[in-house]
Amino acid sequence: MRIDFPIDAGDAGRSAAWLLRERHGVSASFVKTVRIHGRLLWNGQPVRMKEAIPGPGLLQAWVPDGRELPEDPGAGDEGSGPPRFLAGQELPGGIDCRYADAWLYVVEKPAGLVVHPTTGHGASTLTERLRAAFGEGRLHPVNRLDRETSGLMILARNALAHDRLARQHGSGTMRKVYLAAVHGCPDPPDGRMEDGIERCPGSIMLRRTSPSASPARSRYHTLETSRDGTVSVAAFVLESGRTHQIRVHCLLHGVPILGDSLYGIRSRDHGDRLVDGGWADPTAVEQDGRFPRQALHAAGLAFLHPVTGEPMAYASPWPDDLRYPILEAGIAQEDAAAAAVRYCLESDSI
């Protein structure tokens, strides 16, 4: 894949590595990838990273993207062409591709699928299935979802796209919004949750709130509450990205997410705490049991394209396994995804 970096006259005498990092914002790992695995040209001529660039022109970085680099970098840029499938195509394993170009994919992850290979989860992961379907080399997830959380994800196709998207993710330029169905109604209906979150002692997976932990910040807006007040649907806009952030915050604030096996009313680890708080009502337990998993869905995603800077926004409605039990609870969430994206783009108003 060829990536072009224009160089201005005012930067004459700077090294190629400095220009890439300071003027174009690429990471040290991207510079290393080009130096070791790729090629670098200045105005069509090979140049080394440490060499000074004498004047204005064009730096061209050739980087591997899962295909072989062409023998002659000037012969074309096949690696930067569109992937061999159409956006909107449903892929094996229930994965929907919402957008695709030479830089990134936007996909909808189904529940029950781990994002990255781990011990016990090898080929049956999101990244491995996408690599097999697209004929890709390495893919770089920009945002991650728990195994039982469904919804929108971005995967970068190369180090430069990942670096620029990760910067948006870390700075808050990228907006992520989740839909959650919870017991009761958040009080107040709109607000912020900023409690610190840390790992529970002796557990790799479980998290808990702690005043000594770094704040985990979310804004939320209650979209609808059932007539009997037992179930609400809320949109959450994340300002930080702690593990299990929404799930832990909902537990702490007395509105546990329906169907959550770790932080819900049927949890072996937190169930006693919730029962003590009044969640032993048989109706609540029965209602919770209608959900096959935690009622949490990544419904909105807004970001800037890592190369063109074009604003991009996507919405994803409730999947069927959650929509039907939510309807049974007396909530009609036909426009929830659209509302979620609106709050994602205008989250300062939450």
Domain boundaries, the chain: 2-80, 82-171, 172-301+319-350
CB half-sphere exposure, 31, CA atoms < 13 A: 17
Strand partners, 59: 5, 42
Low-confidence ranges of the chain (pLDDT < 70): 64-93, 117-123, 268-280, 333-337, 343-350
pTM of the predicted model over 0.75:
yes
CA–CA dist 173, 168 (Å, integer) = 5
What's the pLDDT at 31?
86
What's the pLDDT at 41?
93
DSSP string, 271-322: HHHHHHTTTT-HHHHHHHTT-SS--EEEEEEEEE-TTT--EEEEE-PPPHHH
3-state DSSP assignment of residue 44: coil
Helix (H) or strand (E) holding 151: strand 150-156
**Helix segments in 150-304, DSSP class H:** 159-171, 245-252, 271-276, 282-288
CA–CA dist 10, 8 (Å, integer) = 5
Roughly how many angstroms between the first and final C-alpha of the chain, as a whole number? 41
Query: Tokens 């969640």 correspond to what residue?
Result: 279
What's the pLDDT at 270?
57
CA–CA dist 263, 248 (Å, integer) = 7
SS3 content of the chain, % helix, strand, coil (to 5): 25, 30, 45
What's the pLDDT at 211?
87
Out of 3.30.2350.10, 3.40.50.170, 3.40.50.80, 3.50.50.60, the CATH code matching 172-301+319-350 is 3.30.2350.10
What's the pLDDT at 72?
39
CA–CA dist 234, 123 (Å, integer) = 34
CA–CA dist 182, 254 (Å, integer) = 9
Interhelix angle 159-171/28-37, nearest 10 degrees: 180
CB half-sphere exposure, 178, CA atoms < 13 A: 28
Query: With contact defined as beta carbons under 8 Å apart, do 117 and 127 qualify?
Result: yes
Residue 38, φ and ψ in degrees, nearest 5: -120, -155
User: Per CATH, is 82-171 categorized as 3.40.50.720?
Assistant: no
Catalytic residues: 146
CA–CA dist 318, 298 (Å, integer) = 9
Residue 73 is classified by DSSP as G
What's the pLDDT at 90?
64
What's the pLDDT at 66?
45
Q: Is it true that 82-171 and 172-301+319-350 share their CATH fold?
A: yes
CA–CA dist 181, 318 (Å, integer) = 10
User: Per CATH, is 2-80 categorized as 3.40.640.10?
Assistant: no
What's the pLDDT at 88?
60
